[in-house]
Amino acid sequence: MDAPWLTEQQLAAWVRLVALVELLPGTLDSQLRRDAGLTSFDYFVLAMLSEAPSRTLRMTDLARQTNATLPRLSHVVQRLETRGLIERFPCPQDRRATNARLTPAGWTKVTETAPGHAATVRDHVIDALTPEQIAQLTTIADAILQRLDPDAAMSGTYNRYDRPPE
């Protein structure tokens, strides 16, 4: 299939998006490593557990929410478990499944890390935009996510702060 070339305007938008996708993770990761000794993915895992009921999720649900393979997630959870931030245990409803739970030390790590992370996000993204642009960014991200996540497998993660229509 021969796809048409991008127009100059489309190419200008595309290369900016690529630059953003390349630069932002490094910026976030640097702050988290410096201030908390965590990678962005470590923090994402801890944050997802911190927002779950009883700060606990099945590993399969945690993998879905973080868009991780079970082997990758298991490796990260094992590392966080070694640091005393997460504990794993058999799921009471299904002994074949494993749950991950944020420990009190993990909760402390999240609550101590969140302000610096939020400040970095605000400094590099939120404060660069007007309120109208933030609304536009949400709309743009939704349009792209419909293509990247057509089954809405991660929608629980990226829609969790949406307000119901009024």
Tens digit of pLDDT for each residue in 74-106? 999 999 999 999 999 999 888 889 999 999 999
Tens digit of pLDDT for each residue in 12-53? 999 999 999 999 999 999 999 999 999 999 999 999 999 999
State the pLDDT at residue 162. 87
Q: List the chain domain ranges.
A: 8-128
CA dihedral 10, 153, 130, 30 (to 10 degrees): -90
Average pLDDT over residues 144-162: 89
32 close to 39: Cβ distance less than 8 angstroms: yes
State the pLDDT at residue 104. 98
Q: Could you name the CATH architecture of 8-128?
A: Orthogonal Bundle (1.10)
Average pLDDT over residues 128-141: 96
pLDDT value at 164 more than 80: no
88 close to 77: Cβ distance less than 8 angstroms: yes
pTM: 0.89
Of residues 54, 62, 64, the one with CA closest to residue 80: 62
Q: What is the mean pLDDT of the chain?
A: 94
What is the chain's Cα-based Rg? 18
